[in-house]
Structure 1
């Protein structure tokens, strides 16, 4: 097992010894960041070298994002990541559908971040945990009862290892000028490409071509046909790579020279992995 540090050491060390430097990203400048803490993670997960980020596509819209300091973040958390028992440091959730959130969050998770607030009000997150800064940009969603719920979804952005990694969540409309500006430059983006439950494919393709991220990871696709339709629509401006598995390690100095779609195949995080 990999331990962030022992419980005894956590009690004995002064708090300044827990701090780590976060490599500044180039997305946007943010002020008033709060100092972070580190947490014990009881799991066998891969080591991540300095200035790199490990991404694992779990299922649907859930990814494990793991930093070089072994902070574990799970996006669109539903309560199940696989058979490997571990407690993420951070989870993010969106509530367009119950396949993107859970009411039963393990109380051991230090930072559960909802992508919505009271109806129509949205929510703002700026959470700094040592080498990771997590923020969000609120967007609207279609209400299950008809109409629109303003600011009911969040695009979460994870700034780490000098990278800006964006997760579009259950996006239902093209971002407006202010939302694009708030996102800033996004190096790696996880994008829903189902073609209907979120956005139609022409709109999603237009968004991704405008973002011009170095790496696009398709998610939230319900059939191979939908995925292939998306890839065909992107092939004129993006290279396409079939990774052949659920995981990818990214680093600022190893981003592809041409915008690239990295196709990951989802897999739960199991003890055998």
Structure 2
């Protein structure tokens, strides 16, 4: 009887192991092979996501929903409100340079709340491995609205999933140093603030994006079409510009554009009426 029990358990072990979500290794430190093509979505409800694919939805300001094939929902620069669609994210990231990038009262039902700051000047280190996705950060400095600043007071958050490396620059106030660039690695997709002053002036932001050489740049933190247009004009020599005319797109590693591309999404809160 004991022998039969051991044999049964040994046969079940591979099945149980196969059910554990695994993460395709990303290429943060190496260029991925690239071929043209992306699937654009304008759905505001929670979509199904194909295997080895990531769903990105621009919610508002600097907040994005990042959704995995397995149903992980992650929200960047979470303010406590994502729209009328009832959703408890699995992970939220926050930055504290301004109140439009964090909330003091995140829902306690959220399993993983990742602030981009720690003790004053000390920064914070996150490396949250959820199997299907790894979420990590690179600390950056912030300046005060009036004077002074704080070292390591904010973070760039990086999501490694479906073989992709997706970066959210947050409320970035300075160009990363050599060690920070190295820690960031190769970003396939980057969400970049392009307001031209509240974060960084456009020449500095453009220099950062050209150095990162991401396949896809998604502008965020812009306050008018005029300001957005200034950024797009300045980038158009080296980047293809595509206006998605919606808030969402789905990205996979084997369908990244062959030429660096700016994907302009139109922010839209998650709605329960779709």
Tell me the TM-score normalised to structure 2 length: 0.87
Structure 1 match to 2:33: none
- Is 1:73 matched up with 2:74? yes
- Is 1:155 matched up with 2:156? yes
Query: Deviation of residue 28 (structure 1)?
Result: 4.7
d(CA) in 2 for partners of 1:251, 1:130: 18
Query: Deviation of residue 181 (structure 1)?
Result: 0.3
Q: More relative contact order in 1 or in 2 (CA 8 Å, sep 6+)?
A: 2
Query: Deviation of residue 142 (structure 1)?
Result: 0.3
Report 1:87-102 matches (<5 A).
Answer: 87-102=88-103
CA gap of 1:223–1:53, structure 2 versus 1, over 3 A, is same
d(CA) in 2 for partners of 1:223, 1:145: 24
Structure 2 match to 1:63: 64
d(CA) in 2 for partners of 1:127, 1:19: 16
Query: Deviation of residue 148 (structure 1)?
Result: 1.7
Query: Deviation of residue 169 (structure 1)?
Result: 0.2
d(CA) in 1 for partners of 2:175, 2:230: 19
Structure 1 match to 2:120: 119
- 3-state SS in 2 of match to 1:209: helix
d(CA) in 2 for partners of 1:127, 1:15: 23
Structure 2 match to 1:225: 226
Structure 2 match to 1:170: 171
Tell me the TM-score normalised to structure 1 length: 0.88
d(CA) in 2 for partners of 1:210, 1:86: 36
d(CA) in 1 for partners of 2:132, 2:105: 28
The alignment yields a C-alpha RMSD, in angstroms, of 1.7
Query: Deviation of residue 19 (structure 1)?
Result: 2.3
Structure 2 match to 1:9: none
Query: Deviation of residue 149 (structure 1)?
Result: 0.6
CA gap of 1:47–1:150, structure 2 versus 1, over 3 A, is same
d(CA) in 2 for partners of 1:103, 1:147: 23
Give unpaired runs (5+ residues) of structure 1: 1-13, 30-43
The answer on whether the counterparts of 1:28 and 1:182 sit within 8 Å (CA) in structure 2 is: no
d(CA) in 1 for partners of 2:107, 2:146: 29
Query: Deviation of residue 26 (structure 1)?
Result: 1.4
Structure 2 match to 1:248: 249
Query: Deviation of residue 272 (structure 1)?
Result: 1.8
The answer on whether the counterparts of 1:214 and 1:257 sit within 8 Å (CA) in structure 2 is: yes
Query: Deviation of residue 144 (structure 1)?
Result: 3.2
Q: Which has the higher Rg, Structure 1 or Structure 2?
A: 2
Structure 1 match to 2:36: none
Structure 1 match to 2:46: 45
What are the Cα deviations for residues 156-200 of structure 1, in whole angstroms up to 9, with x where unaligned? Answer: 000000000000000000000000000000000000000010000
Residue correspondences, number? 247
Give unpaired runs (5+ residues) of structure 2: 1-14, 31-44
Query: Deviation of residue 17 (structure 1)?
Result: 7.2
